[in-house]
């Protein structure tokens, strides 16, 4: 059996780690043995290492610091290389900035793939500031040239990286969602509203994700308050599942509106999306937008900003185009909310297609097929 190692910074509950979990959970273990190598100590508040171990995944943990990974990259790569040799790894699959850097410096004759989870210039600047973020972007792009191939998680991401004219192939595989976890099943939305304490709320709007400038939760709060002040969205609630740098300012704006609720970081996101009538994705940049697909799978109408990835989804599902708004445009978001006020769209017609095209089972099958190609024909 061929051993595939997945290299990642931490196993903390987040979009990319959720995708990694679904990938290793659905790999055919008669074909491949997956192991996970994490480079850093887990965030104790978001640690899901045991979740991987419970499904029989071997997790090898290191305790490198950020500066070890950034400044002693070759030394770390040598240590990781020894680990790969010991485990007889034939394919190294990296996820994230530092994992890609480490992989690119590993001096072994193995296949190296990297999944591109974001638009690097946007994501790195948002998380590390303009100067350091730009430096990280250029380093990431340069080291991508040193691996076997890359996999973008959307057509938009693939188009972005294709402009750099890499000497490697860039493939595209959509991220996958565990549909059993998000679909309504035997219970309807009213059941989930009641379970979560929203039985008397007619319109539940849920926003999932990091409360950062890149996700623009302030726009959502401002638009919602404006609508409420104009007498709209009666008997509604706006619920945020997430935390981050913009949380304090969002709460300050919402302090006189009891119907705006901040749940903070939660593990049962699926329950809130099942209860949601509407979900808002106001991001300024996304590699994929896992919450977008999770919301659709849960039967929630998605209102989204007009960015390339969300435009990609609305081209697949044209019904959603009229529920898009300009990036950072409060007036347009209010106009979209007005449409929802008048009539909540029934998206049942989309569900079968969403489940078929964006399932974690489909994603794992496509990755395994790609592994086969590179392991059987290394010079592809």
Give the pLDDT means over successive 10-residue stretches in the chain (380 positions).
96 90 97 98 89 97 96 98 98 98 97 96 94 96 96 97 92 96 89 96 96 97 98 96 96 97 94 96 95 95 97 96 97 96 80 90 97 79
Kindly give the pairing relationship between strand 58-61 and strand 89-95.
unpaired
Residues 203 and 57 in one domain: no
**CATH number for position 107:** 3.40.50.2000
Residues 40 and 139 in one domain: yes
Structure token digits, residue 184: 């309504």
Residues 25 and 143 in one domain: yes
Nearest to 19 by CA among 154, 120, 122: 154
For the chain, how many structural domains are there in total? 2
Residues 366 and 264 in one domain: no
Q: Map residue 56 onto helix, strand or coil.
A: coil
d(CA 76, CA 74): 5
Per the structure, the complete domain to which residue 201 belongs is given by 179-357
Residues 256 and 371 in one domain: no
Residues 123 and 188 in one domain: no
Residues 371 and 337 in one domain: no
Are 102 and 94 in contact by the 8 Å Cβ rule? The answer is: yes
pLDDT at 380: 44
Residues 186 and 164 in one domain: no
Q: CB-side exposure of 360: number of CA atoms within 13 Å?
A: 22
pLDDT at 14: 85
Spatial neighbors of 268 by CB under 8 A, at least 6 apart, are none
Nearest to 272 by CA among 333, 345, 198, 347: 198
Structure token digits, residue 80: 């990781």
Q: Map residue 129 onto helix, strand or coil.
A: coil
Residues 198 and 168 in one domain: no
Residues 77 and 213 in one domain: no
pLDDT at 81: 98
b/e 161-196 (16+ beta carbons within 10 angstroms → b): beeeeeebebbbbbbbbbbebbbbeeeebeebbeeb
Which stretch of DSSP H or E encloses residue 280? strand 278-281
Residues 184 and 89 in one domain: no
d(CA 179, CA 177): 6
Residues 210 and 346 in one domain: yes
pLDDT at 379: 55
Helices (H), the chain: 15-25, 49-54, 66-71, 73-87, 97-105, 120-128, 130-144, 155-162, 179-182, 189-196, 217-229, 247-254, 269-275, 290-297, 308-316, 330-342, 348-357, 360-376
């Amino acid at each position: 059996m061929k051993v595939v190692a997945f290299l990642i910074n931490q196993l903390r509950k987040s979009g990319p780690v959720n995708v990694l979990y679904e990938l290793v959970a659905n790999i055919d273990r008669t074909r491949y043995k997956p192991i996970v190598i994490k480079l850093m100590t887990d965030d104790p508040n978001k640690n899901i290492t045991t979740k991987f171990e419970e499904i029989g995944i071997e997790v090898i943990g290191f305790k490198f610091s950020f500066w070890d990974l950034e400044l002693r990259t070759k030394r770390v790569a040598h240590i990781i290389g020894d680990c790969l040799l010991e485990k007889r790894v034939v394919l190294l699959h990296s996820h994230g900035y530092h994992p890609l850097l480490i992989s690119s410096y590993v001096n072994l004759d193995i296949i190296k793939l990297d999944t591109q989870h974001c638009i690097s210039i946007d994501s790195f600047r948002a998380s590390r500031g303009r100067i350091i973020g730009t430096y990280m972007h250029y380093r990431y792009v340069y080291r991508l040239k040193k691996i076997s191939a890359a996999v973008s998680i959307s057509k938009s991401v693939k188009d972005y990286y294709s402009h750099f004219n890499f000497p490697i192939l860039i493939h595209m595989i959509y991220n996958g969602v565990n549909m059993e976890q998000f679909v309504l099943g035997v219970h309807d939305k009213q059941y989930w509203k009641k379970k979560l304490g929203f039985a008397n709320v007619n319109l539940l709007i849920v926003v999932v994700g990091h409360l950062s400038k890149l996700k623009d939760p302030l726009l959502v709060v401002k638009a919602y308050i404006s609508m409420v002040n104009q007498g709209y969205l009666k008997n509604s609630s706006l619920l945020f599942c997430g935390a981050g740098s913009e949380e304090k300012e969002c709460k300050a704006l919402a302090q006189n509106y009891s119907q705006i609720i901040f749940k903070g970081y939660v593990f049962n996101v699926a329950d809130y999306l099942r209860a949601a009538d509407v979900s808002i994705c106001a991001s300024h940049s996304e590699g994929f937008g896992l919450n977008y697909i999770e919301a659709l799978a849960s039967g929630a109408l998605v209102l989204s900003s007009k960015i390339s990835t969300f435009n990609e989804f609305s081209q697949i599902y044209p019904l959603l185009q009229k529920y898009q708004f300009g990036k950072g445009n409060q007036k347009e978001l209010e106009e979209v909310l007005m449409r929802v006020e008048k009539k909540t769209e029934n998206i049942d017609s989309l569900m079968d297609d969403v489940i078929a095209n964006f399932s974690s089972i489909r994603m794992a099958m496509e990755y395994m097929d790609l592994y086969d190609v590179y392991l059987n024909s290394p010079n592809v």
